[in-house]
Structure 1
Amino acid sequence: MKKNKANRIRRNLILTFLLVLLVPSFTIGFVTYRDAKGTIEDEILRSASLSVDTANEFINDTLQSKLYDLDYFSGKLKSVGIDTELAAQGTTTVQSLKEYLQLHPETVEVFVATEEGGFIKASEGKLAQGYDHKQSGWYQQAMNAAGKPIITAPYTSKAGSLIVITMAKMLPDGRGVVGVDLNLHSIRDLVQVKVGKEGYTFVLDQDGKYLFHPDYEAGADALAEGDWVSKLYEKPAGEISYQHDGMDKRLSYITNEQTGWVIAGTMLVKEVEDSVYGIRNTMILVLLVSLLAASVLITWNVRSIIKPIRQLREATEVISEGDLTYHLKDFKRDEVGELAGHFQQMVDSLREMVHGVKSMTENVSASSEQLSASALQNTSAVEHVTSSIQEVAAGSESQLLAAEEILKRIHQVSRHADDIAGVLVKVAGAMDQTEQLALNGNKTVITAAATMQDMDMAMNDLNGVIQQLSERTEEIGGIAAAITDIAKQTSLLSLNASIEAARAGEQGKGFAVVAAEIRKLAQRSETSAAYITGLITNVLDNVGQTIQVMESAKEKVSDGVDSADLTGRSFSRIMKAIHSVSGQVKTTSDQAKELAEGTTAARIAVEEIREISEQTSSQTQTISAASEEQLASMEEVTASAADLSQLAEELQEMVKRFKI
């Protein structure tokens, strides 16, 4: 196991040195390889971009020179002159066009066409029968361009061997077009260049067809190669990565502004990897040489560290067996040597300490035996004190319980005394109110008795008045009877007068009228007298009833006077009784208050007794607990003394193991 630990240290050191060496080396190599690869890739792409820009500039220069030529011809030629020359079969314009064609071999044809149907070209070939230049695309585009030059899409010549474009411009008078057919093969060698070792440039027209490509014919459909072709038309310039024929490629492209052609330079990604192949191999070789040299240095360093550690391990094995007489030697003057020196000092100090411990254990053993005997004596005394204190604590608790019970009873008596005092105060107040009410009632009864006497006197007076009224009514009845008799006699006299008037004839008619009126008056008097007689009869009946009621009321008023007198005497007796009870209630209330005050004082005294009992009980409990703790401590001291004695013996046995 120890050998495995030593080997583990050596293995850790070797791994540490290797990591310190290899990680930076591999990191530097990887970063260098990556940067070199990126630099070479950027250089090749920059070369491709430069080739693309050069090709684009050459195409622009070629097209621009032809546009200058078109400007020259459009300014020189007139449609009227062309038509006139054709009619006269002149050759001036044809000769100029032929001279231009001879001076510019990249030009396939130069021509001029008019609105009247005239057409002049530089070449000798004849036009197809029925050819109408006005139906041609280049003519219509030029006429619709309002004086600006146009460039047609590339197309195959009639001979089928050339790819050409037509550049045309409307004449200033707007009645004709001048044009040039440009052979694109003339600029192919200048546009197609190599990019890197295996890369190349190629050109696509605005319809996605190849114009120049080392592997495809002009006019071949490039869009069928994959989606990467359509990406070239999404932006005017840029870089993309794609796969072609199973190989990874990168390309840089630009779009020609005048024609809409895409000019691209492509390269193989593998070409970049091949370029950095030498750098990678050199880096691997350097790492292998560095690893070999480092292995030698690591082995030497590990051996210089492990050897003294093994010597220290052997020394610790000997000392661990108890031999403190061992001495370390043959160590170098380095950090491990200093460690060995300090280790030897530690062994020497340990030897001296063991010698001192051996002497001390003998003294500790003797002292522990004496301590054990003293602890036993103290334990017995503490047990006796603890028993006495527990008895005192039990008595204090009984006294405390009795004081609490007395305090509860006094609390109850105090509450009842307070309740009685409160009730008596309320009763005294009620008795005072009752006494006042009785006094008021007595006064009311006296007033009522006086009133009843006044009513009795008034009833007597009223009875006399009613008697007089009855007498006067009877007298009126007699008068009414007399009036009735008078009316009857008057009626009889008027009847006699009427008879006498009838006897008198004409002289008695006036007297007859008077007699008739007297008879009517007598009848009315008799009727009124009868009515008065009826009224007097009713009045006499009512007066009789009134006299009866007055007699009954007089008797009741007399009874009321007697009752009021009796009630007054009763109220006087009630007032005396209430006054006596009120005095007794006040006396009882004062006594109840004194009882409540006495119970309060008793409660305070009992509470003081309870507090003293609680303090006594608490103190006795504290003393009891302290005694128990003291007893437990003495028992622990006894046990500790026994343990100390045993430990001293064991320590003596352990010290005997060391060789000093």
Structure 2
Amino acid sequence: MKTKPKRKPIFTMTIRKKLILSFILILLVPSVTIGLISYLNAQSNIKEKIQISSRENVLVIDKFITSFIEPKENAATYFSGLFNKASFTEEKIPTTIAHLKEFQVLNPETMVVYVALEENGDFLAYPEQDLPDGYDPRVRPWYIGAKAQSGEPLITEPYIDAFTGGVIVTIAHALEDGSGVFAMDLSLQALNKLTEGIKIGKAGYPILLSAEGNYLVHPKIEAGTKEEGSWVQSLLEKKDGQVVDNQNQIDFTTNDRTGIKIAGVMDLGEVNQDTKPILMTTLLIVGLFIVIGALLSYFVIRSITRPLNGLVAATEKVSEGDLTQAFDVKNNDEISYLGVSFNKMVGALRELIQNVDAKSEMLAASSQQLMASAEQNNTATEQIVDAIQEVASGTERQSKMVEDSHHIVMAMSAEMEGMLNHSQAVRETSMDAVGIVNNGNQAIQLTSQQMTNIHKTISRLSVVIEDLRKRSIDINQIIDVISGIADQTNLLALNAAIEAARAGENGKGFAVVADEVRKLAEQSSRSTETIRQLISSIQIDTNHAVESMEKGTTEIEKGMDLAQSAGEAFHEIKQFIDHVNNEIQTISVSIKETSAGTEQVVGVVHGIEEIAVKTTADSQNVSAATEEQLASMQEITASASSLSYMAEELQEIIKQFKI
């Protein structure tokens, strides 16, 4: 069984390289892993702290807005019960304005406090406002919205004041008696002051947006500016959550009372800046560990590879045949154990080589004697093989000749049998041809007889048609006579009519008779003309029929002649086929006799062939056995020679070892 050759490794690594690689992995993997985990944990903690700060600040602003708006809602509810329709009378107006002033003074973030009357649109405000002509508070959104709130305060969408540019929200409440609406314009400037003191991380900041996405508070963007970024859509669709815009992470919530979107913007780049010192410290520690580990690894690897190199040098000398080598064992470790085993192996090899040297000398002497005996037997066997091969060659030629004769005779027998089959087939075919010729002869005779009958019938029909033609001529003459009579009658009727006209009244009856006779004469003339035309057509057709009958008679006479000629030809063919059939019968009998003799010859040749084949096979078996014996003797001789050569080579190899 062949063993597959081992493929050489593409990358060969010595033990030194493997140890260096192992120490590098042992040092780098834990150090880098620990440093990376520490850095990521620090980064995550810093990011989490900033996120918590952002969420807390957002909630603080949310609570501040609620606490800022809620008292104003309560005040609006209070004043909606305090004011009524009577508050707009001349006696009550000073009191009403005093209440408005008192509230505005106590709440300076309230820019304007006002109340409007449903009945006539009267409007009282503090501080007093310069209203445009035709101003009607009842059509303002804050008025309509408050009326629709069903007793609840209305907080409008924050908007930018046209005069101050600040963010304003209007809180309105319908009066309890339904006579009007109380409202106040509340400045959110306090939110700016609140957000200015809030920092999210180092660079982050809070922002406020309206429900429509307009900035209310932003440290850099002017209030009222609409945000067009894609992140604002998610912020407007959800009540609270978190979105990311490039390097900014935004935590947001929605104030329930005002709908204001409160968001804390955190700069993600700040996290990387804060964790950069941690990363540098980690890299420094990892580098220090690697340097210390590399120094320790160097001394450990050196203590392992130095004795191994000595053992490798001794092994190389042993591989060159120097069995006097020995490994100097100094320590008590695995390499020392390997050195002891190496010394034992070299000693065992030394003893083995000495024993093999002694045995190889004995083997060389025995192989020389065996080779001499094998050469003598080989010479005798070659002579026997030559003689057997000559006998086998002659027998094989004889067998070949007999086999060729057998094939020739078999081919002749097959040809004779084929000729017999063909002659029988030809005889059967000729018999069929005789039947076909007889049938054809009968058909020709019947055809000839039928043609004769047709000729007679056409002859009779020709006579009849000729008589018909003559009679049509006679009829035509009679019609001419009748036509002449009709013309004369018509002429006489005309003369009679003339005479009757001359006779006057006495001749009227005669004139009538003459007119009727004239009409009959004209009808007879027309009928005679019609009959003449029919007779003329019959004469034309009769003439054509006579011509066709004459042509048909001529063709039938030709057909009768051809049928008679064909009958004579079929008779001659029948006589020829009968003669051929007799000749084929004679040939068939001769072929049968020849085929019987050929079969006897085939049997004799087949017997000779069997004897020749058997003789050839026996000769070949003897020759093969002798050749096998010769081959065996040659193999023995070759083996003895090879054995002698191998013994000499073995002695030469043993001499290479230094014992």
TM bracket (short chain): 0.5 to 0.7
Secondary structure of 2:55 counterpart: helix
One-letter amino acid of the counterpart of residue 21, structure 2: L
Deviations, residues 22-63 of structure 1 (Å, cap 9, x unaligned): 123212322332233134323322331332233234324543
**Separation in 2, partners of 1:196, 1:431:** 127
**1:308-347 equivalent positions in 2, closer than 5 A:** 308-347=307-346
Q: Which residue of 1 aligns with 2:272?
A: 273
One-letter amino acid of the counterpart of residue 93, structure 2: G
Deviations, residues 255-286 of structure 1 (Å, cap 9, x unaligned): 44654533221122232123334533443344
Q: Which residue of 1 aligns with 2:298?
A: 299
* Displacement of 1:231: 6.4
* Displacement of 1:347: 0.7
**Separation in 1, partners of 2:127, 2:239:** 41
Evaluate the alpha carbon distance shift between residue 27 and residue 393 of structure 1 in structure 2; reply closer, same or farther with a 3 A threshold.
farther
**1:374-393 equivalent positions in 2, closer than 5 A:** 374-393=373-392
Q: Which residue of 2 aligns with 1:167?
A: 171
1:120 to 120, 124, 130: 124
Deviations, residues 125-153 of structure 1 (Å, cap 9, x unaligned): 34346372438744465378565724043
**Separation in 2, partners of 1:282, 1:427:** 119
Evaluate the alpha carbon distance shift between residue 64 and residue 360 of structure 1 in structure 2; reply closer, same or farther with a 3 A threshold.
same
Evaluate the alpha carbon distance shift between residue 612 and residue 156 of structure 1 in structure 2; reply closer, same or farther with a 3 A threshold.
farther
1:185 to 185, 189, 201: 189
Deviates more, 1:416-425 or 1:365-374: 416-425
* Displacement of 1:306: 1.3
**Separation in 1, partners of 2:216, 2:256:** 16
Evaluate the alpha carbon distance shift between residue 143 and residue 612 of structure 1 in structure 2; reply closer, same or farther with a 3 A threshold.
farther
**Separation in 2, partners of 1:659, 1:414:** 86
Secondary structure of 1:20 counterpart: helix
**Separation in 2, partners of 1:203, 1:392:** 125
**Separation in 2, partners of 1:144, 1:614:** 134
* Displacement of 1:597: 6.3
Evaluate the alpha carbon distance shift between residue 162 and residue 419 of structure 1 in structure 2; reply closer, same or farther with a 3 A threshold.
closer
One-letter amino acid of the counterpart of residue 200, structure 2: V
Deviates more, 1:63-72 or 1:41-50: 63-72
1:239 to 239, 242, 251: 242
Secondary structure of 1:132 counterpart: coil
Identical positions, percent? 35
Q: Which residue of 2 aligns with 1:437?
A: none
Q: Which residue of 1 aligns with 2:114?
A: 111
Evaluate the alpha carbon distance shift between residue 182 and residue 633 of structure 1 in structure 2; reply closer, same or farther with a 3 A threshold.
farther
Evaluate the alpha carbon distance shift between residue 209 and residue 384 of structure 1 in structure 2; reply closer, same or farther with a 3 A threshold.
same
Contact 2:123 2:137 (C-alpha < 8 Å) held by counterparts: no
Evaluate the alpha carbon distance shift between residue 281 and residue 603 of structure 1 in structure 2; reply closer, same or farther with a 3 A threshold.
same
1:195 to 196, 200, 219: 200
**1:492-641 equivalent positions in 2, closer than 5 A:** 599-600=598-599, 603=602, 606-607=605-606, 609-610=608-609, 613-614=612-613, 616-617=615-616, 620-621=619-620, 624=623, 627-628=626-627, 631=630, 634-635=633-634, 637-641=636-640
Deviations, residues 530-564 of structure 1 (Å, cap 9, x unaligned): xxxxxxxxxxxxxxxxxxxxxxxxxxxxxxxxxxx
**1:5-154 equivalent positions in 2, closer than 5 A:** 8-78=14-84, 80-83=85-88, 85=89, 87-115=90-118, 116-121=120-125, 123-128=126-131, 130=133, 132-134=135-137, 137-139=140-142, 141-142=144-145, 145=148, 147=150, 149-154=154-159
**1:428-443 equivalent positions in 2, closer than 5 A:** none
Evaluate the alpha carbon distance shift between residue 118 and residue 398 of structure 1 in structure 2; reply closer, same or farther with a 3 A threshold.
same
Contact 2:242 2:252 (C-alpha < 8 Å) held by counterparts: yes
Secondary structure of 2:249 counterpart: strand
**Separation in 1, partners of 2:606, 2:178:** 136
Q: What is the Cα-based RMSD across aligned positions, in Å?
A: 4.3
How does the TM-score come out when normalised to structure 2?
A: 0.64
Secondary structure of 2:656 counterpart: coil
Deviations, residues 445-469 of structure 1 (Å, cap 9, x unaligned): xxxxxxxxxxxxxxxxxxxxxxxxx
Structure 1, unpaired ranges of 5+: 434-577
Q: Which residue of 2 aligns with 1:568?
A: none
Contact 2:121 2:138 (C-alpha < 8 Å) held by counterparts: no
Deviations, residues 129-188 of structure 1 (Å, cap 9, x unaligned): 637243874446537856572404322374x27432212244466663321211212344
* Displacement of 1:612: 5.4
Structure 2, unpaired ranges of 5+: 1-10, 433-578
Evaluate the alpha carbon distance shift between residue 418 and residue 145 of structure 1 in structure 2; reply closer, same or farther with a 3 A threshold.
same
**Separation in 2, partners of 1:611, 1:235:** 111
**Separation in 1, partners of 2:587, 2:233:** 126
Q: Paired residues, what number?
A: 501
Q: Which residue of 2 aligns with 1:204?
A: 209
Evaluate the alpha carbon distance shift between residue 619 and residue 294 of structure 1 in structure 2; reply closer, same or farther with a 3 A threshold.
farther
* Displacement of 1:617: 4.1
Q: Which residue of 2 aligns with 1:448?
A: none
**Separation in 1, partners of 2:384, 2:282:** 94
Contact 1:324 1:658 (C-alpha < 8 Å) held by counterparts: yes
